[in-house]
Amino acid sequence: MSDTDAPSNLEVPSSITETEDLVAMQARHKREVKELTGRMTALKKTATKGDKKKKKEVLQECSQMETAIKNRHRQELAHLEIRDDHPKVEEEEEVATTILKEQDRELEASPIALATEEEPQRKGKKINRARQRLERRAEQVRQMQAEAEAEAEGQVDMRAVENEAIESLAKARACRVVDIVPDGHCLYNAIADQLDHVLGLKMSYQEIRGKVAMYMREHKDDFLPFITSETGDLLDDAGFEAYCDALANTAVWGGEPEILAISKVYATPVHIIQMGAPALVMGAEEKRPDGKKDPMIITYHKHMYGLGAHYNSLRPQ
């Protein structure tokens, strides 16, 4: 059957090319599932213990991402079946079923899979059986999502509360909030904005990351006891080197150790404004060569985005 004979209601997925065969599609699907699992795992770690609302938001975001990729992969496999350059239908169904089973195994460790009951493994070589299994799981996710939304009704909108509180704190300082893009570099972009305002320095987040990583390497003994791995263990020398390398070269988030290093690198105190607590001051003793101690001021937002903490910058009104 040619493409022109395809049913009119089957839209060709934008991610599939007319030259992509089943083997290439299988490899691409594996990559996409692996990348999604990594993103979902990182998202799960942002949900702190006891924060039920945040956990529900995370599960909802993860379920949407998981459902979207499964639906797209099923659509791509269905499109491939009607193309005139595919293998025999029976052979393709077996391979496609293998793809879907491997996706199941990849996603079993995801936040959504952990939040739902494990479904018994069912034998079957036909692709329609694999699809039925995925559809049942998707229905479980939809039910969980609906329950989470129902429970969330009437709860306090912490994002709105936090925004209002920080706006009030900013006005008390005669300042305004400068929004920073939430791309993993928000701390360093907020500091870049402050360096421009307070010190008159034009620096990119990449340059700031590099300088902070270098300072932490040169003063390892000051930072090593306060940095832990994802499992909560203290880092050894190799782990600390890997930590600094990720700091300099990836979009890994920054926290108090990095802010302290920033205050040392630029000999300028950093004030962190946050809801429900006094301003946190890092490097209070720092003083620039000109004797000035004007601080850099940033804001910390815990509830602004579902992916985790965020930093903005404060400037005079």
Q: Indicate which residues carry an active-site annotation.
A: 183, 186, 310
d(Cα 149, Cα 309) in Å, to the nearest integer? 22
Backbone CA torsion sign across 133, 138, 141, 147 = negative
| Tokens encoding 305 | 């985005």
d(Cα 239, Cα 278) in Å, to the nearest integer? 33
Counted residue by residue, the chain has a size of 317
Alpha carbon 260 to its chain's center: 24
Beta strands per DSSP E along the chain: 175-178, 270-273, 280-282, 296-305, 308-316
Is 279 buried (19+), middle (13-18) or exposed (0-12) by CB count in 10 A?
Answer: middle
C-beta of residue 239 within 8 angstroms of C-beta of residue 220 = no
C-beta of residue 184 within 8 angstroms of C-beta of residue 255 = no
| Tokens encoding 227 | 């940095």
Candidates 203, 197, 221; CA nearest to 270 is: 197
